[in-house]
């Protein structure tokens, strides 16, 4: 594709993201599946352009107002991004909007005025409010300011850049050194992660799915923080375990592998399609101790029938996903699911129901990919007030035995952020049920 054709494809894709009530990554995947004639390098370039515009949502729109109130469209957003973020001069960009075959239509008079207004400027401006500069939406700004205090700007700024690509070595198939060697043989460079003993951080965005290491189940794509949640369940060979909100099964795979294929892990979810995707990953990983179960809701009768039967129960709760904004930049602005207030009620209900599965002396691990205290510490406080038979098992005390590395020292709970730990934003609390004798 020519540079102009790439820009036109990006404009069309931005339009689809805007009008389609689905997460941007799903829209982008569908866009390219319908256009298989677009080559891999061109797909990567177009997707990178679109994700860049999504990452700079608030700052670009601020510039539209600062420049005089120009209308916001996919075309004008791309024009502004190319000038402000990519540093392209207005007259050079004008030539790419040539109206030729596959290229964008020529600039309108309004677009010419916009380009000339923005020409020579960069994306950041001292007049921007801090919330705009760090791309923080109004609905989350107050909560995050309250929690982070004077670290609000550096913590949120760390969410502006794309996330790295992390893998987890599957100990059922190979240790981390062997996985690194297999990746290196395929021309893929990686290095051990800091916190997870199974984590591998990859350089760049190589075609991982075509490698033998991936196809054989030797490695799985999983953020380092997500790996740590699986490790903190501290599930042992022979344990009975439930992953209550399993989704596509990433954490279930990690937990089951740590159990050395011994014992039983039940991966549950209310969305059966996700569990079907998990089943394929389970087969590829060579795991035989995992079964999937679709639930009608968090109050499914299966929960009552299995009351007090499990050593470990993981609740990776539905949440706002504020900790994953660097992966899903559109989720800051497009709340396609429940809002914060509704999610808080859902989290409370899920925790309350899942706790029934935990046997005396067993553990309930509550986790989110959120940085909002309402979804984290306050949920744990409310749960403990309603369930006095549970107590916090401090993560700092568990870390070395459960994870096997030096811990980040975050106190009684695991609280990770991109700024401090280089992972997505994650929270985890380990809650232990008192023994029957107590």
**pLDDT tens-place string over residues 98-132:** 898 889 999 999 999 999 999 999 999 999 999 99
Q: Averaged over 257-285, what is the pLDDT?
A: 90
The pair of structure tokens assigned to 81 is 């991004």
Q: Averaged over 391-401, what is the pLDDT?
A: 94
Q: Are 257 and 227 in contact (CB under 8 A)?
A: no
Q: What is the pTM of this model?
A: 0.93
Rg over alpha carbons for the chain, rounded to the nearest Å, is 24
Q: Rounded to whole angstroms, how far apart are CA atoms 325 and 137?
A: 11
Say if residue 150 carries a ligand binding annotation: no
Banded model confidence at residue 437, pLDDT cuts 50, 70, 90: very low
pLDDT of residue 317: 95
The bridge status of strand 264-269 relative to strand 358-368 is: unpaired
What are the residues facing 134 on neighbouring strands? none
Residue 345 C-alpha from the chain's centroid: 22
Q: What is the largest CA-CA distance in the chain?
A: 80
pLDDT of residue 45: 94
356-372 residue pLDDT tens: 999 999 999 999 999 99
Asked if pLDDT for residue 373 goes beyond 90, the answer is yes
Residue ranges with strand state E in 260-381? 264-269, 290-294, 310-316, 358-368
Helix (H) or strand (E) segment spanning residue 432: strand 426-433
By annotation, the residues acting in catalysis are 369
pLDDT of residue 299: 93
Asked if pLDDT for residue 65 goes beyond 60, the answer is yes
Q: Rounded to whole angstroms, how far apart are CA atoms 168 and 227?
A: 7
Tally Cβ neighbours within 10 Å of residue 152: 18
DSSP state, 136?
-
- In this structure, is the dihedral angle defined by the CA atoms of residues 15, 16, 19 and 22, taken in order, positive or negative? negative
Q: Averaged over 183-209, what is the pLDDT?
A: 93
Banded model confidence at residue 436, pLDDT cuts 50, 70, 90: low
Q: Rounded to whole angstroms, how far apart are CA atoms 251 and 66?
A: 45
Q: Averaged over 183-205, what is the pLDDT?
A: 94
Say if residue 316 carries a ligand binding annotation: yes
Asked if pLDDT for residue 179 goes beyond 60, the answer is yes
Distances (CA, A) of 138 to 141, 153, 352: 5, 14, 30
Q: Rounded to whole angstroms, how far apart are CA atoms 392 and 375?
A: 16
Q: Averaged over 367-382, what is the pLDDT?
A: 96
């Amino acid at each position: 594709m020519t540079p102009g054709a790439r820009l036109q494809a990006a404009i069309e894709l931005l339009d689809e993201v805007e009008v389609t009530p689905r997460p941007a990554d799903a829209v982008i995947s569908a866009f390219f599946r319908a256009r298989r004639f677009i080559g891999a390098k061109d797909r990567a370039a177009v997707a990178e352009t679109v994700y860049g515009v999504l990452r700079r949502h608030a700052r670009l729109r601020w510039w539209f107002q600062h420049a005089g109130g120009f209308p916001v469209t996919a075309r004008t957003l791309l024009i502004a991004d190319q000038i402000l973020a990519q540093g392209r001069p207005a007259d050079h960009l004008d030539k790419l909007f040539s109206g030729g075959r596959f290229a964008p239509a020529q600039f309108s008079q309004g677009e010419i005025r916009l380009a000339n207004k923005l020409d020579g400027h960069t994306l950041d401006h001292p007049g921007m409010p801090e919330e705009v500069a760090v791309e923080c939406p109004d609905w989350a700004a107050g909560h995050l300011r309250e929690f982070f205090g004077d670290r609000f700007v550096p913590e949120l700024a760390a969410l502006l850049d794309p996330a790295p690509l992390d893998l987890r070595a599957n100990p059922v198939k190979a240790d981390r050194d062997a996985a690194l060697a297999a990746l290196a043989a395929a021309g893929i460079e990686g290095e051990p992660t800091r916190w997870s003993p199974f984590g591998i951080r990859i350089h760049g965005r190589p075609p991982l799915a075509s490698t033998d290491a991936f196809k054989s189940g030797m490695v799985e794509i999983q953020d380092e923080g997500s790996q740590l949640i699986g490790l903190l369940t501290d599930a042992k060979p022979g344990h009975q375990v439930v992953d209550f909100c399993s989704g596509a099964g990433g954490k279930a795979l990690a937990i089951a592998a740590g159990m050395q294929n011994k014992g039983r892990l039940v991966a549950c979810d209310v969305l059966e399609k996700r569990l079907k995707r998990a089943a394929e990953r389970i087969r590829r990983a060579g795991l035989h101790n995992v079964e999937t179960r679709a639930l009608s809701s968090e109050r499914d009768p299966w929960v009552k029938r299995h009351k007090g039967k499990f050593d470990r129960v993981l609740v990776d709760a539905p949440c706002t996903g504020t900790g994953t904004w660097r992966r899903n930049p559109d989720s800051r602005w497009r709340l396609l699911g429940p809002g914060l207030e509704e999610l808080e009620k859902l989290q409370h209900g899920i925790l309350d129901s899942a706790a029934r599965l935990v046997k005396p002396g067993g553990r309930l691990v509550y986790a989110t990919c959120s940085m909002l205290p309402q979804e984290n510490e306050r949920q744990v406080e409310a749960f403990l007030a309603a369930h006095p038979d549970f107590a916090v098992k401090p993560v700092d005390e568990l870390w070395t035995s459960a994870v096997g590395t030096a811990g980040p020292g975050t106190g009684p709970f695991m609280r990770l952020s991109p700024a401090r730990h280089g992972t997505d934003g994650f929270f985890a609390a380990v809650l232990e049920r008192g023994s029957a004798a107590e």
